A and B are shown apart, each in its own frame.
Chain A
Amino acid sequence: KQEVTQIPAALSVPEGENLVLNCSFTDSAIYNLQWFRQDPGKGLTSLLLIQSSQREQTSGRLNASLDKSSGRSTLYIAASQPGDSATYLCAVPTGTASKLTFGTGTRLQVTL
């Protein structure tokens, strides 16, 4: 059974800092990995999707990497802003239905 873990569970940083969120998964037979953002009381917003053939994907200040063999992905956020405050979730598709197995989430707070 696929298990997805994220560390840290919570993180508070001052504005402007670069930070790294970690995601690990137990079954490396994945064909992609997705990072989501969830704001309080809101649904999920897809940030980045990395295919298994890729090593990284970039969007603006966000960069996600994937190392299938070690079962790890990282989300790098450059020059953090208070608007980045949210919960970040990684997820991998499981089974023929491509249902997503989600990580435990990292709650990020960026302070002024």
Chain B
Amino acid sequence: GAGVSQSPSNKVTEKGKDVELRCDPISGHTALYWYRQSLGQGLEFLIYFQGNSAPDKSGLPSDRFSAERTGGSVSTLTIQRTQQEDSAVYLCASSGLLGGRETQYFGPGTRLLVL
């Protein structure tokens, strides 16, 4: 497809279980970002990839959160031992040129509900 895709679109899990969220960026985009949008917190940065490396992980809220990117393309965000406060929409964006300037294109998000 032409845009950023994310899967699953919705995920309901029980507290304590692990979840994996997937992001397929736009082909050729080397930069990839994960953000989280939760009630009362707004949209906040989690992690940034340039190629397969993550030079900025400063937004990951705890060591239960990790992410990887392979082949400079698909990225997976993993949350271990989920907690109810992890419930949020997780958005992925990849970055490319628009009018000669870098801009971020967002996927539709994964809605995570931890019961």
A and B assemble together: yes
Instruction: Say yes or no for A83: interface residue by CB 8 A criterion.
Output: no
Chain B residue at minimal CB-CB distance from A105: B42
Q: Which of B64-115 touch A at CB < 8 Å?
A: 91, 93, 95, 98-99, 101-109, 111
Assembled-state Cα–Cα distance A51/B48 (Å): 22
Q: How many residues of A contact B (CB 8 A)?
A: 25
Q: Which of B1-56 touch A at CB < 8 Å?
A: 4, 31, 33, 35, 42-45, 48, 50, 55-56
- Are A102 and B55 closer than 8 Å at their CB atoms? no
Number of A-B contacts (CB under 8 A): 60
Instruction: Say yes or no for A46: interface residue by CB 8 A criterion.
Output: yes
Instruction: Say yes or no for B59: interface residue by CB 8 A criterion.
Output: yes
- Are B102 and A44 closer than 8 Å at their CB atoms? no
Instruction: Please tell me which one of the listed residues B45, B55, B95, B105 contacts residue A101 in the complex, with CB atoms under 8 A apart.
Output: B45
- Are B91 and A95 closer than 8 Å at their CB atoms? no
Contact A44-B106, Cβ < 8 Å, known A51-B101, A99-B48:
yes
Q: Taking the nearest CB of chain B, how far is it from the CB of A6, in angstroms?
A: 10
Assembled-state Cα–Cα distance A102/B42 (Å): 8
- Per DSSP, chain B at the interface is strand
- Are B105 and A46 closer than 8 Å at their CB atoms? yes
Interface residues on B, range: 20 to 34
Assembled-state Cα–Cα distance A32/B35 (Å): 19
Q: Which has the most chain B C-beta neighbours within 10 Å: A34, A42, A98?
A: A98
Instruction: Say yes or no for A104: interface residue by CB 8 A criterion.
Output: yes
Assembled-state Cα–Cα distance A96/B102 (Å): 13
Assembled-state Cα–Cα distance A51/B31 (Å): 20
Q: Taking the nearest CB of chain B, how far is it from the CB of A108, in angstroms?
A: 16
Pull 23 A–B residue pairs with CB atoms less than 8 Å apart, ordered by A.
Answer: A43-B91, A43-B108, A43-B109, A46-B106, A49-B98, A49-B99, A49-B101, A94-B45, A96-B56, A97-B48, A97-B50, A99-B33, A99-B45, A99-B48, A99-B56, A100-B35, A100-B93, A102-B35, A102-B43, A102-B44, A103-B42, A105-B42, A105-B43
Interface residues of A (CB under 8 A from B): 32, 34, 36, 41-46, 49, 51, 89, 91, 94-105
